[in-house]
Amino acid sequence: MAFILPPLPYAKDSFGSLISAEAFDFHHGKHHQAYVTKANELVAADPALQGKSLVELITSSKGGLFNQVGQIWNHSFYWQCLSPEKQEPAGKLKALIDAQFGSTDALVDALKAEAVGHFGSGWAALNLDGDRLVVTSYHDADCPVAHGAVPLLIFDVWEHAYYIDHRNARPAYAEGVLRNAINWEFVAQNLDGAGASRADQAG
């Protein structure tokens, strides 16, 4: 079965100036779609690959195919990490954040520093390692599930994520979105699921 571009879980114009409808048109409608199209072409050309899930392909491939399927997973998960309405962590997630970072603002500071400090294209991420939250980043198309990590949140720092609305100003993009447009309910769901089948939501 061919991979498809997942629909956005919100209206393209619902983020105001943080992420414009035009940015979604290019980032989701063109960049993400291009990964889906190319991955389907590569899989169709090799019978041994057909019928495998996105996660199976990520964990068993390399090179060109890995780049395409990794980016499909990263983007599909990223869209779910965004919310047009500002949220705050609550419950178990909030308690874990406060115990480890001191506050949600401190966690966001750490995520922003990781995102802004990542050299070149890639992704900032919040993973769960045992009972600890880990702020890390991945280069290019690499992704948490390629390493058996438990992803809670992933944040796109490829230039195509912000070049329309913020030009080359990655810090402004990271500050605006991480402070105001994270879907903490989705992050909490991933924490509650402890990674069990949650990663497949993006596949």
Residue 196 has pLDDT above 70, yes or no: no
Residue 200 has pLDDT above 60, yes or no: no
Average pLDDT for residues 56-72, to the nearest whole number?
97
Residue with tokens 């392909």: 57
Question: Residue 135: in which H helix or E strand, if any?
Answer: strand 132-139
What is the model's pLDDT at position 1?
A: 75
What is the model's pLDDT at position 184?
A: 98
Q: Based on the number of CB atoms within 10 Å of its own CB, is 94 exposed (0-12), middle (13-18) or buried (19 or more)?
A: middle
What is the model's pLDDT at position 45?
A: 96
**What is the pTM assigned to this prediction?**
0.94
Cβ atoms of residues 128 and 144 within 8 Å: no
CATH number for domain 21-203, candidates 3.40.30.10, 3.90.79.10, 2.130.10.10, 3.55.40.20: 3.55.40.20
Query: Which tens digits make up the pLDDT trace of 65-85?
Result: 999 999 999 999 999 999 999
Q: How confident is the model at residue 194 (pLDDT cuts 50, 70, 90)?
A: low
Residue 198 has pLDDT above 60, yes or no: no
Average pLDDT for residues 133-138, to the nearest whole number?
98
Residue 203 has pLDDT above 60, yes or no: no
State whether residue 149 is helix, strand or coil: coil
What is the model's pLDDT at position 202?
A: 54
Please report, to the nearest 10 degrees, the dihedral formed by the alpha carbons of residues 176, 120, 38, 190 taken in order: -50
What is the model's pLDDT at position 155?
A: 98
**CA geometry: angle 11, 14, 18, nearest 5 deg:** 130
